[in-house]
A and B are shown apart, each in its own frame.
Chain A
Amino acid sequence: MSDANDNKISLFVSQLLDSSVDEKLLLELDRGIQDDPAFVDTYLDYMILYMGLEQCGSELHGELSDGEDVKSMMSQMIDLDQKEALEKKEAELIIRQKEIQAISQLRLEEYLKQQELIKNQIGFQGQRIKKAYSFQDQKWLTRILAACLVFAGLIWLIFQESSTVTVAKLTNSYQTKWAFEPDENLHDIEYYLLSGLAEIEFNDGAKIILEGPANFKLESANGATLNLGKLSARVPEKAIGFTVKTPNASIVDLGTEFTLHVKKNKSSDVYVFAGEVEISTENLSYRVNEGDAKTISSDGQSLHDIVFDRSLFVSNLNFSSSGQDHTSAYAKMVIDGQPLKYLSFHPDRMDQNRLLSDRGEIKPIGPSLGNNETNYALKFKSGLYDDSDYAGQLEFIPIDTLKETKQLSIVFWINPNLDTRQHSLTLIDFEHNSLEAIVIPTIGLTMKHLQHENEIEFSADFNCSNGASVGLDVINMELDPAVAWYHVVLTVSGHEFSMTINGNAKIRKSIDRTKIYHRKMNGIVLFPEGISSESVAHGAIDEVSIYDRVLSDKEIRQLYLSVRPK
């Protein structure tokens, strides 16, 4: 390894310390890594050194004493639980939790669920609480003080609400969780959208969609401050001049449609979809044109180009519009059957797209639904899925009413796109938004191309909450190259699990009643699975509907016959 190369790498890593790298140097490093194994070793030496210095820094900073491990921490906490002094310790830990919450932009759902709403609200003004707790040792005094703060917080909120003016209206929302639930009229105060999507129309006409977690303040009938989160704005001519402030810049609309993402490090990304906007900071002013995207550095001192990507933002909350699929005979029949959920995968339906965006892409490749319209489907991405994401809930579509049902039908079109391997797909899953077991009960589909017989083999299994499984025998369908899509219906009743392919090929099996419904199913997951990237389902799925009843054979046949797949 030459000294010159070593110097380059050490210089690069020192720039990394400021998260500000020289792109020319990066390119040189990239080449070096590919050409020279010694170069790689040196880079890794520096990387580990950097990690070690951060670790030393944290320990010296006094965030934790040396040598503390998880077990000792746990036992320490359990011991403390029996002492009154725990009150103080817990208060400190809660504050620490709040700090971590802030770091992860309020996305640690686990915390939010466990803390009372009002604690969350006051938690945002955490410094006050922190100060109060840190001076109190006595249990009763701490409690009184905390109660006073809660009361003061409420009074503050009420006072704030009553002394403000209405500047905007909440016009639409999707799965929103607020720190403080607003009514339709929005005032010139600060709001905390913990999750979900909220559409707001300002009195002067500008419309924004906020994507939680977001912290924002409505400033006037034509302006707001976004401290954290994503915002998408559509500004009609009458509202030109609509202004959004960030922690270090102002974005002034000049007749346009733009989006803004303010991150926790206070840097912001601005994307202009139509018209133009003016970005002003303390030191600079810059116009960004349609199709351009810029990032404003966290100190507001510089602007850099970034890749323009519309898909990063939600720009439409009108779920019911542009639903050409719903006009098809198939869609009408599905809707008439009153499903709990119907996913037809249209790019404009943001509730479906965003929740399943990780599963693949919405593409115009769906089966023909007999209405001469382009039909979109969810094309699974190739490669092995990260099962750690499966534990998350980003791609999980909850169906609240599903948990109440003892019967279930799941209906969909699938394009297996098979090679010689077996491909699997989990369709329904137990709610996995907690740290509990995440995979049961499930309903899964397995498909295999039997080359010698020129057939596709379909099989399905229903895994019960106690680990017992009901596996169906297989259904073999002759492989017709002209038919890409297969219609699959899976039903579960208290006593039977069944699968029907293309309207009439049906197979069923009894379920031991004692083995099911110990836990309840909560939603759709559509998770392609496999032990290797090649065996993961990599076809496409469309028109997924879920019913809280068992569809009759006649209904299943009619659904299939309403469409003649190409």
Chain B
Amino acid sequence: MFDSRDKVNAVFARLYAKHHKTIYSFIISLLPSASDADDVMQETILTMCHKFDEYDHGKNFAAWGVGVARNKILKFYEKGQRRKALFSEESLRILLERSTPVIHHFEERFLALEVCLRKLKEPEKNLLKERFVNNEKIVAIAKQQEKSLDALYKTYSRILKKLKLCIQSNLSGKKATL
């Protein structure tokens, strides 16, 4: 039989399984290098694990993780550990500063996204499903669908743009169309 610590760990593991991709996407958006983002993600998860007792269970786990990741990214830049060309420190500072209020409204945007996703065309939904549900790399999807990688990036780019506009309309109370 397992003690209460095991249970806490199991809860942590389940929450982590649900939210780690969201946290990772935040990291890689600010640290666009897979190897660097992996390192920061590792540090983030380690700290989250250690500090799970301090986590306010009433709050969104992903938002908490993003807060931890934010500090880790800053520290990573301070240490100068970057292996690839990334955003300059000035850009990172601006992004981190401006991202805080946006992150606070993450839930709201997430709900709007769910509405907007339903409005996409089937082929577009399928492409998103391949990448975000089946976790396929776009390079693999391109091979599978016999399309050029550049063309597929552009297709994804168009879908993202559509969703962004829809979310903006939704949040501003306008009728969203796609």
Contacts and interface: CB of A to CB of B under 8 A. Distances in A.
A53 B29 CA distance: 13
Contact of A49 (B24, B87, B113): B113
A248 interface: no
Interface residues of A, number: 84
B131 A17 contact: yes
Chain B interface SS verdict (over half): helix
B161 A114 contact: no
Interface residues of B, number: 90
Contacts of B10: 77, 90, 93-94, 96-97
B135 A391 contact: no
A200 B42 CA distance: 27
B109 interface: yes
A104 B46 contact: yes
A435 B53 contact: yes
Interface in A31-90: 33-34, 40-41, 43-61, 63-64, 69-71, 73-74, 77-78, 81, 90
B121 interface: no
A30 B160 contact: no
Given A56-B114, A389-B75, A391-B51, A100 B160 contact: no
A313 to B, nearest CB: 13
B14 A7 contact: no
Contact of A58 (B18, B53, B158): B18
Interface in B42-94: 42, 45-47, 49-53, 55, 57, 61-62, 68, 71-72, 74-75, 78, 82-88, 90-91, 94
Contact of B157 (A11, A97, A111): A11
A437 to B, nearest CB: 10
B160 A391 contact: no
Contacts of B82: 307
B178 interface: no
B83 A57 contact: no
B160 A56 contact: no
Contacts of B109: 48-49, 52
Interface stretch (A19-27, A448-456, A478-486, A555-563): A19-27
A18 B138 contact: yes
Contacts of A388: 47, 50-51, 68, 71-72
Given A7-B161, A77-B10, A114-B5, A40 B29 contact: no
Interface string B1-28: 1100111011101111111111011101
Among A60, A99, A100, find the residue whose CB has the most chain B CB atoms closer than 10 A: A100
Contact of A96 (B17, B37, B49): B17
Given A14-B157, A267-B35, A306-B83, A63 B133 contact: no
B18 A107 contact: no
Among B9, B88, B137, find the residue whose CB has the most chain A CB atoms closer than 10 A: B9
Contact of B21 (A18, A41, A58, A381): A58
Interface in A94-140: 94, 96-97, 99-100, 103-105, 107-108, 110-111, 114
A49 B28 CA distance: 13
Contact of B26 (A47, A97, A391): A47
Given A46-B160, A48-B109, A386-B71, A70 B17 contact: no
A17 B2 CA distance: 39
B123 to A, nearest CB: 16
Contact of A33 (B57, B91, B135): B91
A370 interface: no
B26 A11 contact: no
Contacts of A27: 85
B68 to A, nearest CB: 6
A78 B7 contact: yes
B46 A107 contact: yes
Contacts of B22: 51-52, 54-55, 58
Contact of A263 (B6, B38, B49): B38
B98 A77 contact: no
A295 interface: yes
Given A19-B28, A70-B15, A386-B72, A48 B103 contact: yes
B98 A265 contact: no
B84 A40 contact: no
Interface string B151-163: 0011011101101
Given A108-B46, A110-B49, A388-B68, A56 B132 contact: yes
9 contacts: A10-B157, A21-B33, A55-B19, A58-B19, A81-B7, A104-B49, A114-B6, A309-B83, A386-B74
Given A11-B153, A49-B167, 9 more contacts: A12-B32, A30-B88, A48-B106, A73-B14, A81-B7, A97-B9, A111-B9, A263-B38, A267-B35
Which 4 A-B residue pairs are closest in the complex by CB-CB distance? A57-B132, A19-B34, A14-B156, A54-B21
Interface of A: 6-7, 10-21, 23, 26-27, 29-30, 33-34, 40-41, 43-61, 63-64, 69-71, 73-74, 77-78, 81, 90, 93-94, 96-97, 99-100, 103-105, 107-108, 110-111, 114, 263-265, 267, 269, 295, 306-307, 309, 381, 383, 386, 388-389, 391-392, 435
